[in-house]
Amino acid sequence: MKDSKCECGHINPHGTAFCEACGKDTGEIQDKKNLLDMRYEGSARRSQTYNKSIIDKIWNFFSSVKVGVWLIVITLTASAVGTILPQQMYIPTNVLPADYYKDTYGWVGKLYYQLGFNNLYSSWWYLILIASIGVSLVICSLDRVIPLYKALKRQRVTRHEGFLKRQRLFGESDSLTNEEMENIKRKLKGKRYQVREENGNLLAEKNRFSRWGPYVNHIGLIVFLFGAMLRFIPGMYVDKVLWIREGETKVIPETNGEYYLTNEKFILDIYDKNKDNKAFEKAIDKAGNVVKNYQSNVILYKKIGDAIPGEKPKLKKIKEYPIQVNKPLKFEHFGLYQVDYKLDELNKMSFSLTNKKSEKTFGNITVSLNEPEKKFDLGNGYSVELMSYFPDFEFDENGEPTTKTRIPNNPAFVFKMISPEKPEGEVSFVAIKQNIEPFGDNLYKMTFNGIETKNVSALTVRKDLTLWVIMIGGILFMIGVIQGAYWNHRRIWIQHVKGATWISAHTNKNWYGLKKEIQYVIEDTNLKEPHDQINNEKKE
């Protein structure tokens, strides 16, 4: 099918409902009687014009607002389902999810788990829903914005009678004097309308830019979704936890060994009702202990030069920083966040080499539980060797000593005690409250002397290079919604037709405001207030 020429001379693309320039009904689309559907200026939208090929069909599907709204409503409902029971990431990690859901919530929990709702927000179908919304956003926007832009650009001042009559606000009056027209024009300009004139007819228009609001906000959403997808590209996103003890220096993961961190001290403060704000007293009495601060005092180092393998790298101090919740340490693209802690982890244990009979001691040793030394020379022919070390000791199924984890929760040691009497050494197995002599009676024993504890901080190591894309998406979205919501596109036509003066007006929203503005503009003239023809339509 071809483009068609209107009687005003303008050539309209195929599918146009009323002429882009003068507004005359092309007879192609809309019925003849009722108010014009002004939403997209009657412009020829692809989705309304073609429906043959498979591409047309897909295009039409995604450009339909009905489909868009369904997608939104389904996503919304699915999201709600995901809040009925806690998602898997919020349940304890020391139990099997399948068991947890069944044991805690009975058959409901079991079903929830079987349907995969425990990881709903990362399920393939949820992601498809979000992706479809994204596709729909792109297509529906393209389908509308281009024809709308063209139509608004091509509009003429003088409109066809049918166009004027079929506006929602329409009125007829006796012909106005020039003076009155001037008066109206002045007031329109005062209300910041752009007034165009042609043969004594007026088109006053303002805030056309607000029509682009939805498209700007949709672009914002797409940028946002795009940003969220970037996370799956390796290197864009880092999410690691670094457990670091007081006094310890560790390489920061994912920094290519470039950065090191020392944890000087972990601090946990509780509100003190006597020292802190008196106003908190009652609340503290009720709640018991309320935490005031979690803080890790750290020092950040950067490695200088190339380290020789096996040798300690040379470090340059970059900065000292107290990391608190809400106050991460930032460097390059990384952030270190205070997320967890452990108080009083065993750090060192000390023992004395003791003669069992005389109770006489021959020197003390202190074993560092994280990096134990192998040999302790006590002089005078006395020394102790650490033969084996089990930081988190238990017996395995064969009754052999083994360690559950690398964390010194329950340390146990096998010592070899060397003395002038026994230069070849005696073996002693020492654990908390245990002292076993595997090879018969010893002369000496290791007596427990004391412990030293340290706090441990857990810091999340975060790098997120997608943030700025997401931020731009958010900002665009806000600009778009504000643009579309806080301004309205208003047009007023005043035209001389057959010895009378007609007024018609259109706005994309807020008719109340438009009517008030018209009242003000035509005050003191003979122009009658236009009727709201939507009321006639309702009564029919």
Partner 1 sequence: MVALSSNLLYIAFILYLIATLFFGGAIKSKDQDEGNQKQKTNGWGKIAILLTIIGFLSQVGYFITRWIAAGHAPVSNLFEFTTFFGMALVGSFIVIYFMYKTPLLGLFTLPVAILVIAYASMFPRDISPLIPALQSDWLHIHVTTAALGESILAISFAAGLIYLVKFVDQTKSSKRTFWLELVLFGLISTLGFVIISSTFSALDYKSEFTWLDKNDNEATVEYNLPAITGPHNWELKTADAFEPLAAMPAMVNAKKLNTVIWSLLTGLLLYGLLRLILRKRISASLQPLVKNINLDLVDEISYRSVLIGFPVFTLGALIFAMIWAQMAWTRFWGWDPKEVWALITWLFYAAFLHLRLSKGWHGEKSAWLAVIGFVIIMFNLVAVNLVIAGLHSYAG
Residues lying near ligand HEM in the complex (CB under 6 A) are found at 39, 65, 68, 71-72, 133, 136-137, 140, 144, 211, 214, 217-218, 221, 481, 484-485
Q: What are phi and psi of 5, to 5 degrees?
A: -100, 130
User: Using CA atoms, how far apart are residues 348 and 345, in angstroms rounded to an integer?
Assistant: 9
List the one residue from 149, 280, 382, 389 that touches partner 1 (CB under 8 A): 280
Stretch of 43-51, 154-162, 201-209, 269-277 contacting partner 1, by CB under 8 A: 269-277
> Which pair of structure tokens corresponds to residue 248?
């310890």
Work out how close the CB of 509 gets to ligand HEM at its nearest, in angstroms, rounded to a whole number: 6
Candidates 13, 37, 47, 3; CA nearest to 142 is 47
Q: Which does 136 bind (CB under 5 to 8 A by kind): partner 1, ligand HEM, none?
A: ligand HEM
Among partner 1, ligand HEM, none, the one that 137 touches (CB under a kind-dependent 5 to 8 A) is: ligand HEM
Exposed / middle / buried, residue 482 (Cβ in 10 Å: 0-12, 13-18, 19+): middle
Distance of closest approach, residue 39 Cβ to ligand HEM, in angstroms:
6
From the list ligand HEM, partner 1, none, which binds 495 (C-beta under 5 to 8 Å, kind-based)? none
Total number of residues shown for the chain = 540
| Smallest separation, CB 254 to partner 1 (Å) | 14
Task: Return the number of the residue (287 or 304) whose C-beta is nearest partner 1.
Answer: 287
CA distances from 389 to 353, 368, 403, 444, 453 (A): 17, 11, 9, 19, 18
Question: In the complex, which residue's CB is closest to ligand HEM?
Answer: 68
Cα–Cα distances in angstroms (integers) from residue 382 to residues 16, 355, 360, 424, in the given order = 103, 11, 13, 11
What b/e readout covers 106-135, taking b as 16+ CB neighbours within 10 angstroms?
eeebeebbeeebbebeebeebeebeebbbe
Contact between 486 and partner 1 (CB under 8 A)?
Answer: yes
Among ligand HEM, partner 1, none, partner that 107 touches (CB below 5 to 8 angstroms by kind): none
Taking the C-alpha atoms of residue 370 and residue 326, their distance in angstroms, rounded to an integer, is 30
The smaller minimum CB distance to ligand HEM, of residues 40 and 390, is found at 40
Partner whose footprint covers residue 131, from partner 1, ligand HEM, none (CB < 5 to 8 Å by kind) = none
Regarding 96 and contact with partner 1 (CB under 8 A), the answer is no
d(CA 6, CA 42): 14
Q: Which of 339, 407, 427, 497 binds partner 1 (CB under 8 A)?
A: 339
Question: Half-sphere exposure of 266 toward its Cβ, with a 13 Å CA cutoff?
Answer: 23
Can you tell me which of 474, 496, 497, 525 binds partner 1, judged by CB under 8 A? Answer: 474
- In terms of CB distance, is 115 or 478 closer to ligand HEM? 478
Strands 11-12 and 329-331: unpaired
208 forms part of the interface with partner 1 (CB under 8 A): no
Q: Which is nearer to ligand HEM, 61 or 105 (CB)?
A: 61
Q: In Å, what is the CA distance from 72 to each residue of 76, 131, 431?
A: 6, 11, 61
Q: Does residue 232 interact with partner 1 by CB under 8 A?
A: no
Phi/psi region, residue 257 (left: phi>0; alpha: psi -120 to 50; beta: rest), is left
CA–CA gap between residue 329 and residue 262 (Å, rounded) = 13
Type of residue found at 91: I
Binds partner 1 (CB under 8 A): choice among 152, 195, 290, 427: 290
- Within 116-257, strands assigned E span 169-174, 194-198, 201-206, 237-245, 249-251
Partner touching 114 among partner 1, ligand HEM, none, CB below 5 to 8 Å by kind: none
- Using the rule CB under 8 A, which residue among 13, 28, 48, 68 binds partner 1? 68
Q: How far apart are CA 298 and CA 330, in angstroms?
A: 12
73 is in the binding site of which of ligand HEM, partner 1, none (Cβ under 5 to 8 A by kind)? partner 1
Question: Which residue, 159 or 218, has its beta carbon nearer to ligand HEM?
Answer: 218
Nearer to ligand HEM, 42 or 484 (CB): 484
Which of 226, 243, 382, 511 is close enough to bind partner 1 by CB under 8 A?
A: 511
In this complex, which beta carbon is closest to ligand HEM, that of residue 133 or of residue 446? 133
Find, among 425, 240, 246, 228, the residue nearest to 337 by Cα: 240
User: Minimum Å distance from CB 48 to partner 1?
Assistant: 13
If binding is defined by CB under 8 A, does position 94 make contact with partner 1? no
Kindly give, in sequence order, each residue whose CB lies less than 8 Å from that of residue 444, ignoring residues fewer than 6 positions away. 353, 354, 355, 356, 362, 417, 419, 422, 426, 428
Element containing residue 364 per DSSP (H, E):
strand 361-368
Minimum CB distance to partner 1 smaller for 115 or for 287: 287
* Cβ atoms of 133 and 75 closer than 8 Å: yes
| Near partner 1 by CB under 8 A: residue from 80, 199, 400, 440 | 80
Residue 111 is a binding residue for partner 1 (CB under 8 A): no
Shortest Cβ distance from residue 49 to partner 1 (Å)?
18
90 binds, among ligand HEM, partner 1, none (CB under 5 to 8 A by kind): partner 1
| Beta-carbon count within 10 A of 218 CB | 21
Most distant CA atoms of the chain, gap in Å? 132
Question: Of the candidates 51, 114, 293, 368, which one interacts with partner 1 according to CB under 8 A?
Answer: 293
Which spans of this chain sit near partner 1 (rule: CB under 8 A)?
39, 65-66, 68-69, 72-73, 75-76, 79-80, 82-83, 87, 89-90, 104-105, 121, 239, 271, 276-277, 279-280, 282-284, 286-287, 290-294, 324-328, 335, 337-339, 460, 462, 464, 467, 470, 474, 477-478, 481-482, 485-486, 509-512, 515-516, 519, 532, 535
